[in-house]
Structure 1
Amino acid sequence: MHHRHAAAAVLLLASLTACSGGDPDEAKPARSSSAASPSPAAAQDLAPTWTPKLNAAGEGAVAACQTPSSVDCSAAVDRIMAVVNDLEVAVGQTGRPYKETLSQIAKMRAAETEYTVRACKGDPAADDPNSKCHGVVHVTLGATTLTMTLATDDLS
């Protein structure tokens, strides 16, 4: 008996959807997008807040990392990536895609990992022009690139 009532309810729902002229699949995204909409504060553009933070964190980083083995370079990488980590959290809270920003963050994270895995900090061989440690530029210049991709993604 209960199966008949459930079947009748499904048929009623289907007929109501058909009568409204809407496709049931079209109705689902509208409901889910309104339920998943970020709060007004989270929907704000990120570039105005994060560009100054990235610029401050990256200040002097390119020059410091001309010598990848230096303590100054390591500190610059740590500063930049701390801001990048916080930015990544902020991106997630917006509910917006920020595709290019997240792609740039992934490149920076990969460069940071390589810098760490290769133990560049304190290794005089890291300063050799042929050293893979110079890939740290993807973090230092990446901070500047990230400000541009962030502004672009804000417009998307």
Structure 2
Amino acid sequence: MNAESPRTTPAAGSAPGSPPGSVLRRLAVPGGILAAVAGAFAYVGSVDPNEPGHYPACPLFRLTGLYCPGCGGLRSAYAVVHGDLGTALGANAVAVFGYLLLASVWTVWVVRSVQGRPLRIDPAPSLLWTLGAFALVFTIVRNLPFGGWLHP
């Protein structure tokens, strides 16, 4: 005689075939990252980087007077928090696109975590070199006289 175990249905919000608590466990790290990023954006949104003395100055700008690729990133984050996309793009357009890219990667991470699949990011070396070259060109152009529109 063959005794069958009773069939159970998965709990709401769990991936098919996974124990009910395992989905929440898999979402712990992406949830923690979301909490940390939300906290950072909340802080920057409440402490205006446009007011002097709230944040340390960029060391490259302070020593050389040159803008690095990150200069204006806090001002762009402040503008994003306040819903002012035009000001955010003017402060540092590359940072705004970076925020969007990271939000997209985080979303894919959550979906794959719910499905029980790992997130694998394996960019081609040519992509990494292209991104590095873009950052270098952006930095050079924003420091040339005709690149003043890229100043934070």
Give the TM-score normalised by the residue count of structure 2.
0.31
Structure 1 or 2, whichever has the larger Rg, is 1
Query: Greater helix percent: which structure?
Result: 1
Instruction: Between the two structures, name the one with larger relative contact order (CA 8 Å, sep ≥ 6).
Output: 1
